[in-house]
Amino acid sequence: MNKYIGLLICLMIIIGAVHHVGFNYYNDILSFLFVIGGSFGYGLLKNQKDKFIINCGNGAVYFGWLGTLIGLIALTAGKWDNWGDIDKTGSALSIALLTLFYGYIIKLITLVFKKTS
């Protein structure tokens, strides 16, 4: 029961911080799908049925970092002709970082399912 209460407290703190900044800055469906898909794929890749959820949580973090790296490479390569334009660069950077945010949120949620020995 304590782990569910702990998860609720953590999520409420995160939601409070996100609300303070604005929920509209934390929505990007492609970033979310990238992390969720990578998470699920990693869980299957590990081929451990008893640890599937935990492996999905780990995969979410890995794909969060991969998504951020892909976003930063695209940003610095000038994929969207944004280099030098602070408004475009700031928006692109925030989207690149969203995959990390999503990955760690998913990891936090999966910690509830970790079996204690």
51 within domain boundaries: yes
What is the total count of domains within the chain?
1
Q: Is residue 75 a part of any domain in this protein? A: yes
Report if residue 71 sits inside a domain. yes
Average pLDDT score, the chain:
88
Distance in angstroms (rounded) separating the CA atoms of residues 94 and 92: 5
Does 23 reside within a domain? no
> Closest Cα partner for 62 from 10, 111, 102, 109?
102
Q: What pTM did the predictor assign?
A: 0.85
22 belongs to a structural domain: no
Per cent of the chain over pLDDT 70 is: 93
Residue 56 lies in a domain: yes
- In the chain, which residue ranges form alpha helices assigned H by DSSP? 2-21, 29-46, 52-76, 86-110
Model confidence at 81, pLDDT cuts 50, 70, 90, reads confident
Whether the predicted pLDDT of 105 surpasses 90 = yes
11-49 pLDDT tens trace: 999 899 988 888 888 888 999 999 999 999 999 999 999
Domain that holds residue 107: 28-113
Is residue 108 included in any domain, yes or no? yes
DSSP annotation of 114 reads P
Integer-rounded Cα radius of gyration of the chain: 16
Residue 7, domain member (yes or no): no
For residue 116, what pLDDT is reported? 58
